[in-house]
Amino acid sequence: MKSIKRIYTDYKIVVLFYMGGVFSFILLSLLIHFFWPTFDAQVIGFIRQDRGKGFSALMAFISWWGINTRMIWTVVFVAAMFFINSFRKEALFTLSVFIADGINIILKLLIHRSRPEAIDIYPKFQQGSFPSGHVVHYVVFFGFILTVMLVSQRIPKVLRWVAGALCVFLIGGVSIARIYLGTHWPTDILVAYIIGFMLLSVGILQYLRGRPS
């Protein structure tokens, strides 16, 4: 048990894990750029097939957490719950997700990539497409919550498992949801994962410093 806990809390192991993930995404992006020019079109063609109302509702549910003011209130609510339950450090780091959101907005304004052709099942956004704000937000926000669930023994085990599973589901599912709902190109998603995990790794390293191994 001590060796498993050490994997979660040793910041040197964490940075190696996240840098390996980021490197993998960057390598994949380079391979796609140079050897798979039709990547966006082919992935969109596969994912955006009509899969029924149930699947569409599931994709909308995944995206719901990152829409406009809902995103803000969700972050504030989680930070407030941490603070009320004496997790003040966790509350502060939860709010830091707004820094990642701000960086993403700046990148959108600088790059200003057009979004895919509009479809009817989800409203269009006025901001640029690249990179995906949903993905960056989900990776940083839900990734930090997942980290807290892994390292904090003060939280009930059942809650840790349920919250952790939901975080993993949302971080992974948002990529499919954003493409299926017609709001992003696959390359928007891929680069957003790179940015999100890089920012998350910085936050986690700062959060884990000083914690007992």
Q: What is the pLDDT of residue 5?
A: 47
Q: How far apart are CA 71 and CA 59, in angstroms?
A: 16
pLDDT at site 66 = 76
Measure the CA–CA gap between 188 and 129, rounded to whole angstroms. 7
Q: How far is CA 145 from the centre of its chain?
A: 11
Residue at 155: amino acid letter: I
Give the integer Cα–Cα distance in Å for 45 and 42.
5
Question: Quick check: 6 and 13 in contact, CB under 8 A?
Answer: yes
Nearest Cα to Cα of residue 193 among 179, 208, 209: 179
* pLDDT of the residue at 79: 92
* 3-state SS string for 107-132: HHHHHCCCCCCCCCCCCCCCCCCCCC
Q: Can you give the residue ranges of every domain in the chain? A: 2-208
pLDDT < 70 regions, the chain: 1-22, 25, 29, 33-37, 39, 46, 50-51, 112-115, 117-129, 210-213
Q: What is the pLDDT of residue 23?
A: 72
pTM equals 0.79
Reference 82, options 154, 134, 170, 11; nearest CA is 154
